[in-house]
């Protein structure tokens, strides 16, 4: 199967129609659906908008929506035909021949398929006389016609070559419709295909549609089966996105259009269309890089040393030091200038084929970042995640690999820490779904269940992204509403979690050495006792070491976290016992409150004012 044409409805994106067209073209779309309100609000004439589309290399694939046409009294039908003729004038100027007509919600309409078919046939005759066509769409909340099977019965009954169907995945899948019958519709009667995903929500379908549609791959609809059936029926038009979403409506349209394009390419891949080389197998983290100002970098180095890490090398050309223990590698980049800064600047994954990873990233709309590079330095490819974090593809064992960019000073020690278990990134709410889609399409990670919890400063959403062998885990976190300005003390926390073979022994060691472990209050341990009835000795060790504990169907999780370095970064040591699959999210509110206490205490003057 060759690559299909890709289209996007202007309603998906924020801004004026001009902003939307420029963004759609820049993201590589072939065409657009012009949403009527976007056109009406524009100062440009339809002819100018059409010309602008063509200059940008975009075809106008559809004009939409035309509402409440069919099965009405004769006087209303005459008005509706007059209204349609005016819209055909607009379409003529725009340079499109296809209009979307939604099934009626009008109180004037009657429940009469024969009359609806007759009216739509009349409309199709008018359209045909102008060289145009009509795509009839069953809205999920249509008054009488609200399934595609029903809209197809009417279109078949009308039997006019200028009348066909528009299928919209949301309207079918939100009603748990069975897409299997789509395969029985002749391909030439499928005039248009609109794709939208959505999260499973138990709410009014109109509200669900208007606020919560998502790009394919971001929600829980089975779009692969749906779109697969449409293609199998013989549909040859564009794959078009029609997504009404509160976030996308106000987001910068350029990255939103890229996100949209990425979603289509991932869907096409799942449909068996060769749009990108398959994601190479991953084999854990090569490193994580922390970016800090020099003073905070010193604190981080001390913190890593307290955990048993050793500085093993210095970068040949940059202010970057490499710290290691077992298979865990952390780079400390001390080139930030703002005081109190520490953030995860980059993460690097071990790829079975770094060059293929890079080519896949580009095919998935994530261009390789330009990189300053010394003459002897390795050609590391990296892309930017939606939050700006760099993602590198590495083969550490290669003779000319990234390690050769460092002057070695020590060999990595073996200790209780053996590698990186996960990296936790905080996403602004607006980018949460985009970040998950990036991990999925570019890195080939699969999304885990979404968890939401009440934290001291707001509701937080958590979603793990993991590769097939659980060697790379990325924990995405984001507040459900933008984080309040009032006094959160720790904005957008991030952490690197190291795999530790014995967290209790480590906690004991850290306590003895006075390492900056985050103190956890007694209330937490009293509650643990109430919930889990843990062995008293285990409970006492957890309490003594400020170790957090969780349990799921697969096993247990022990974890201990450090105090903050700078304003937002901490380190975590985790031990998965059995097949525990989570991230200890239940303990996050306790940890957040403890970090706030640390920040507030640190901001107090050391000597009380006289
Ligand atoms: Mg639609
Ligand atoms: Mg964690």
Q: Which one of the ligands is nearest to 421 CA?
A: 2
What's the gap in Å between 34 CA and the centre of ligand 2? 44
Q: Which one of the ligands is nearest to 548 CA?
A: 2
What's the gap in Å between 159 CA and the centre of ligand 1? 22
Helix (H) or strand (E) run with residue 291 in it: strand 282-292
What's the gap in Å between 196 CA and the centre of ligand 1? 9
Q: Which one of the ligands is nearest to 100 CA?
A: 1
What's the gap in Å between 434 CA and the centre of ligand 2? 21
* Rounded distance between C-alpha atoms, residue 350 and residue 128, angstroms: 58
Task: Supply the pLDDT for residue 376.
Answer: 59
* Rounded distance between C-alpha atoms, residue 39 and residue 47, angstroms: 11
What's the gap in Å between 573 CA and the centre of ligand 2? 8
* Rounded distance between C-alpha atoms, residue 542 and residue 39, angstroms: 63
Q: Which one of the ligands is nearest to 574 CA?
A: 2
Longest CA span, the chain: 91
Handedness of CA 62, 25, 38, 213 (dihedral sign): positive
* Rounded distance between C-alpha atoms, residue 436 and residue 207, angstroms: 24
Q: Is 584 helix (H, G, I), strand (E, B) or coil?
A: coil
269 labelled ligand-binding: no
DSSP character for 237?
A: S
What's the gap in Å between 492 CA and the centre of ligand 2? 14
- Stretches where the chain sits below pLDDT 70 are 1, 372-379, 482-488, 605-610
Q: Alpha carbon 448 to chain centroid distance? A: 12
Whether the CB-CB separation of 332 and 292 falls below 8 Å is answered with yes
Q: Alpha carbon 337 to chain centroid distance? A: 31
What's the gap in Å between 139 CA and the centre of ligand 1? 7
Token pair belonging to 408: 């070695």
Burial of 469 (C-beta count, 10 Å sphere; 0-12/13-18/19+): exposed
Architecture category of domain 282-600 in CATH: Roll (3.10)
Helix (H) or strand (E) run with residue 559 in it: strand 555-561
324 labelled ligand-binding: no
Whether the CB-CB separation of 249 and 211 falls below 8 Å is answered with no
Task: Supply the pLDDT for residue 373.
Answer: 64
Query: Taking CA 453 as the corner, what is the angle to CA 451 and CA 457, rounded to the nearest 5 degrees?
Result: 135
* Rounded distance between C-alpha atoms, residue 428 and residue 491, angstroms: 11
Q: Which one of the ligands is nearest to 195 CA?
A: 1
What's the gap in Å between 389 CA and the centre of ligand 1? 35
212 labelled ligand-binding: no
What's the gap in Å between 356 CA and the centre of ligand 2? 30
* Rounded distance between C-alpha atoms, residue 99 and residue 132, angstroms: 8
* Rounded distance between C-alpha atoms, residue 234 and residue 191, angstroms: 11
What's the gap in Å between 68 CA and the centre of ligand 2? 52
Backbone angles phi, psi at 466, to 5 degrees: -140, 150
Q: Which one of the ligands is nearest to 474 CA?
A: 2
Torsion from C-alpha of 219, 471, 330, 502, nearest 10 degrees: 120
What's the gap in Å between 382 CA and the centre of ligand 2? 24
Neighbours of 519 (CB within 10 A): 9
What's the gap in Å between 407 CA and the centre of ligand 2? 31
What's the gap in Å between 151 CA and the centre of ligand 1? 13
* Rounded distance between C-alpha atoms, residue 305 and residue 109, angstroms: 75
Q: How many residues does the chain have?
A: 610
The segment(s) of the chain belonging to CATH 3.20.20.150 are: 6-270
Place of tokens 């109430």: 530
Whether the CB-CB separation of 119 and 69 falls below 8 Å is answered with yes
Place of tokens 């029985």: 184
What's the gap in Å between 427 CA and the centre of ligand 1? 30
What's the gap in Å between 473 CA and the centre of ligand 2? 10
Torsion from C-alpha of 102, 106, 110, 116, nearest 10 degrees: -20
Q: Which one of the ligands is nearest to 196 CA?
A: 1
What's the gap in Å between 347 CA and the centre of ligand 1? 39
The segment(s) of the chain belonging to CATH 3.10.180.10 are: 282-600
**DSSP secondary structure of 86-137:** HHHHHHHHHT--EEEEEPP--TT--S-HHHHHHHHHHHHHHHHHTT-EEEEE
What's the gap in Å between 82 CA and the centre of ligand 1? 23
Q: Which one of the ligands is nearest to 496 CA?
A: 2
**DSSP secondary structure of 468-510:** TTSS-EEEEEEESSPPPSS--SS-S-EEEEEEES-HHHHHHHH
Whether the CB-CB separation of 38 and 72 falls below 8 Å is answered with no
137 labelled ligand-binding: yes
Task: Supply the pLDDT for residue 5.
Answer: 97
Q: Residues with Cβ within 5 Å of ion ligand 2?
A: 424, 497, 572, 583
What's the gap in Å between 600 CA and the centre of ligand 2? 22
Task: Supply the pLDDT for residue 456.
Answer: 86
User: pLDDT per residue over 49-91, tens digit each?
Assistant: 999 999 999 999 999 999 999 999 999 999 999 999 999 999 9
What's the gap in Å between 212 CA and the centre of ligand 1? 14
**Could you check whether the bond before residue 529 is cis, i.e. omega within 30 degrees of 0?**
no
Beta bridge partners of 113: none
Torsion from C-alpha of 590, 600, 568, 420, nearest 10 degrees: -50
89 labelled ligand-binding: no
Beta bridge partners of 300: none
85 labelled ligand-binding: no
* Rounded distance between C-alpha atoms, residue 13 and residue 20, angstroms: 6
CATH class entry, domain 6-270? alpha beta
Q: Residues with Cβ within 5 Å of ion ligand 1?
A: 168, 194, 242
């Amino acid at each position: 199967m060759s690559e299909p044409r890709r289209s996007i409805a202007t309603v998906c994106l924020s801004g004026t129609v001009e902003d939307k067209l420029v963004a759609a073209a820049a993201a590589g779309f072939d065409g657009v659906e012009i949403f009527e309100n976007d056109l009406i609000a524009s100062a440009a004439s339809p002819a100018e908008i059409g010309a602008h589309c063509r200059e940008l290399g975009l075809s106008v694939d559809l004009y939409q929506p035309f509402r409440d046409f069919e099965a009405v009294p004769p006087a209303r039908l005459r008005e509706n035909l007059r209204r349609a003729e005016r819209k055909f004038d607009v379409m003529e100027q725009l340079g499109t021949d296809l209009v979307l007509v939604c099934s009626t919600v009008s109180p004037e309409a009657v429940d009469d398929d024969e009359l609806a078919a007759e009216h739509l046939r009349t409309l199709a005759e008018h359209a045909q006389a102008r060289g145009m066509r009509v795509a009839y769409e069953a809205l999920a909340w249509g008054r009488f016609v609200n399934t595609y099977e029903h809209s197809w019965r009417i279109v078949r009954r009308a039997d006019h070559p200028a009348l066909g169907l528009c299928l919209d995945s949301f309207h079918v899948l939100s009603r748990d419709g069975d897409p299997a019958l789509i395969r029985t519709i002749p391909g030439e009667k499928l005039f248009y295909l609109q794709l939208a995903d959505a999260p499973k929500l138990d709410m009014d379908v109109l509200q669900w549609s208007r606020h919560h549609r998502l790009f394919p791959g971001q929600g829980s609809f089975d779009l692969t089966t749906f779109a697969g059936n449409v293609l199998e029926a013989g549909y040859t038009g564009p794959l078009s996105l029609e997504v009404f979403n509160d976030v996308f409506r106000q987001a910068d349209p350029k990255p939103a259009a890229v996100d949209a394009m990425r979603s289509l390419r991932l869907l096409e891949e799942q449909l068996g269309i060769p749009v990108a080389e398959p994601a190479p197998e991953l084999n854990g983290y090569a490193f994580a890089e922390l970016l800090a100002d020099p003073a905070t970098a010193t604190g981080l180095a001390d913190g890593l040393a307290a955990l048993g890490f050793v500085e093993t090398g210095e970068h040949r050309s940059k202010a970057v030091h490499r710290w290691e223990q077992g298979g865990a590698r952390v780079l400390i980049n001390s080139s930030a200038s703002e005081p109190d800064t520490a953030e995860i600047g980059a993460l690097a994954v071990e790829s079975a084929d770094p060059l293929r990873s890079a080519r896949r990233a580009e095919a998935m709309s994530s261009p390789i970042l330009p990189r300053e590079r010394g003459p002897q330095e390795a050609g590391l490819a990296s892309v930017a995640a939606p939050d700006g974090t760099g993602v590198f593809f590495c083969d550490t064992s290669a003779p000319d690999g990234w390690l050769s960019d460092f002057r070695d000073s020590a060999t990595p020690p073996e200790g209780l820490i053996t590698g990186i278990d996960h990296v936790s990134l905080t996403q602004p709410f607006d980018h949460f779904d985009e970040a998950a889609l990036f991990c999925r399409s570019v890195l080939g990670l699969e999304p885990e269940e979404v968890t939401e919890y009440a934290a001291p400063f707001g509701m937080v959403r958590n979603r793990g992204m993991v590769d097939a062998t659980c060697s790379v885990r990325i924990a995405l976190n984001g507040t459900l509403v933008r984080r309040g300005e009032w006094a959160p003390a720790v904005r957008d926390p991030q952490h690197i979690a190291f795999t530790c073979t014995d967290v209790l022994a480590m906690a004991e060691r850290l306590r003895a050495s006075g390492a900056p472990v985050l103190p956890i209050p007694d209330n937490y341990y009293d509650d643990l006792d109430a919930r889990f009835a843990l062995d008293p000795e285990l409970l006492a060790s957890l309490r003594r070491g400020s170790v957090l504990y969780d349990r799921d169907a697969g096993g247990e999780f022990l974890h201990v976290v450090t105090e903050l370095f700078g304003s937002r970064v901490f380190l975590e040591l985790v031990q998965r016992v059995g097949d525990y699959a989570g991230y200890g999210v239940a303990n996050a509110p306790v940890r957040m409150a403890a970090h706030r206490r640390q920040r507030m205490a640190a901001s107090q003057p050391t000597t009380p004012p006289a």
